[in-house]
Chains A and B, each alone.
Chain A
Amino acid sequence: MNCEQVSELLESYGDGEFTNAIQAREIQAHLDTCPACREKFEAQKRLGSVVREFAAYHSAPDRLLQSIAAIGAVEPERPKRSINRGLLVWSFANLCWSAAALFLVLCFWPGHKPGQSLVSDLVSGHIRSLQAQHLFDVPSSDRHTVKPWFQGKLNFSPDVPNLASDGFPLVGGRLDTVGGHPVAALVYMRGKHTINVFVMQAVSSSQVSSASQSGYHLIHWSEHGLEYWAVSDTDSLPQFRDRFLTETQP
């Protein structure tokens, strides 16, 4: 990495927002050898410590804490007290309506409409893994480490082929959630691009085979009753899917 690339990433690196281990190592290596960038980094850290040391902290005064504690103590009893019969009937009717509405929502979403919300969820899962949170729980390029790691964490076992010879090295795996369901995320690389493969149990077979959103590409396939969604900014996803399928065919 050169100075320009490093200075763009320096803040998130210093803020501990970086779990892309590969990039983090490259930044550290650059800082070790470049005094100008190191100085910039030191200045950034100093700003934080100066603010923490000197900025006045306006804690809530006691009277505010007491009055809020009082609201909290009263509030949970709000819906009860004297309930008349009419209100009861009305509440029951409401409950029925809510249950019916909930039933409809559960029927039609997201299972029968695997469209935008699933795609958005997958893309944000991908971005989250690169940006703020963590890329893997189990960093390993060995499929025999990654596949068993999911055992007992999910009620299914995803295929984890080794695609290094095809230019898609495996770098790890993690647990993630998509649409509120636990999924397996397998992480492969294509050059400098990260590919997240989200594996979930088939809810309903999605007709969508590929999509694009916010500059990210998605490609979908199902196999052995599991749904696979690969998300990345690389254009080689169709090739990736083909190699993945070839490797996992018996």
Chain B
Amino acid sequence: MVLPHVSAGHNLARCLLRNDHDAEDAVQTAAVRAFQAIDGFRGSDGKAWFLAIVRRSCLNLLRQGRPATIWDDGAEDQLPDLRTPDPQQFLMKAFDAELVNQAIGALPPDLREMIVLREVEGMAYREIAAVIDHPIGTVMSRLSHARRRLQELLLEGGIEGLP
């Protein structure tokens, strides 16, 4: 129930906390909690369930100031709509690992986790909603926000990187 999702949990923790040591700590704590709570788990989606626990233990670490990141869950929801980056420009550009990881890293954490859960883990909206404990509507608007922001960051990063 827990073991198959440890890597997904670690990847999520690593993306939220941005360092290996804290990520391992968070996943370890989450696993202990998961084993304690496993009898109460009645759902069918073990991955979303475990990732939700990992996410909570990440938030706890962040609240304790480890690492020093400001996390405001849902801060992005209040921002005015970003303009959609020019799709043509986006389709023409070449990307590499450095640029992509830099751009993902530059996203605020509540948007970064959207990209990780949807694009990397390929989770359905309702699973993501279970992980972040928000309604599906919030998932949709945050994900949309995250995508536009990431496209923008990718385009910006590229212009500097070009010779």
List chain A positions with a Cβ less than 8 A from chain B.
11-12, 15, 17, 39-40, 42-44, 46-48, 50-61, 64-65, 67-69, 71-72, 75, 127-128, 131-133
- Cβ contact of A40, chosen from B3, B87, B95, B143, cutoff 8 A: B87
| Given A57-B11, A68-B31, CB of A40 within 8 Å of CB of B124 | no
Residues of B within 8 A of A15 (CB): 118, 125
- The reply to whether A132 and B35 contact each other, CB–CB distance below 8 Å, is no
Identity of the chain A residue whose Cβ is nearest the Cβ of B5 in the assembled complex:
A60
What is the interface of chain A mostly: helix, strand, loop, or mixed? Answer: helix
Q: A11-B147, A15-B125 are in contact. Are A55 and B136 (CB under 8 A)?
A: no
- A51-B15 in contact given A17-B124, A58-B10, A133-B126 (Cβ < 8 Å): no
Is there an interface contact between A64 and B11, defined as CB atoms closer than 8 Å?
no
Could you say which of B14, B99, B119, B124 contacts A47, with CB atoms under 8 Å apart?
B119
Partner of A71, one of B11, B35, B96, B125: B35
Q: Which of A17, A51, A72 is close to B104, meaning CB atoms less than 8 Å apart?
A: A51
Given contacts A54-B97, A56-B101, A58-B14, contact A72 B3 (CB under 8 A): yes
Q: Give A45's nearest chain B residue, CB to CB.
A: B91
Chain B contacts to A: CB under 8 angstroms:
2-3, 6-7, 9-11, 14-15, 20, 23-24, 27-28, 31-32, 35-36, 38, 84-85, 87-88, 90-91, 95-97, 99-101, 104, 115-116, 118-120, 124-126, 136, 140, 143-144, 147, 150-151, 154
Q: With contacts A12-B140, A44-B147 known, is A50 near B100, CB below 8 A? A: yes
Q: Is the CB of A131 within 8 A of B125?
A: yes
